[in-house]
Amino acid sequence: MKAYCRSCNKYLNYCDCQDKTSEQKELGIKQQKELSKGASNLGTFDNTVKAEWLPDGRDMKLLESVSFTDKSGKTWVAPAGSIINGANIPRFFWRVIGSPFVGRYRRSTVIHDVYCQTRSETCKLTHAMFDEAMEADGVDEVKRSTMNNAVVTFGPKW
């Protein structure tokens, strides 16, 4: 059973909200134990996204760095000050999968955006990281596959 925080919509074991009920805390501890058994199979994030909307109403600026360490141990960093907008999820898919900053894939989208802009890794590696990061954040397999296929097929290539 997967339980999510009612406040931040993260898995309870990743939630750092102060307003957890004792039931939520207990369930989060139980999940932590269950997930730690298979933790080596998932990547990990080091932080939540802290950003501010810019005046254009579309772009956001990261206030703090966010990083994801993938299954192989590679760390992908979205540095503070990065400008992100989720544009790498093709807009016509938003009706099916949701907009870039809504849902469990938010952190994945932020890091993916940065690497699509900097192109410091290949697009193949960047899109694979996006899929791994969504898995680590608990995005269900169908949505993850749909989003990843959309990005690979219609997203940026370099």
Domain residue ranges in the chain = 1-37, 44-154
User: 71-112: per-residue pLDDT in tens?
Assistant: 999 999 999 999 998 765 666 666 666 666 667 888 999 999
- What is the 3-state composition of the chain as percent helix, strand, coil, each rounded to the nearest 5? 40, 15, 45
Are the C-beta atoms of 129 and 96 separated by less than 8 Å? no
pLDDT band at 36 (very low <50, low <70, confident <90, very high): very low
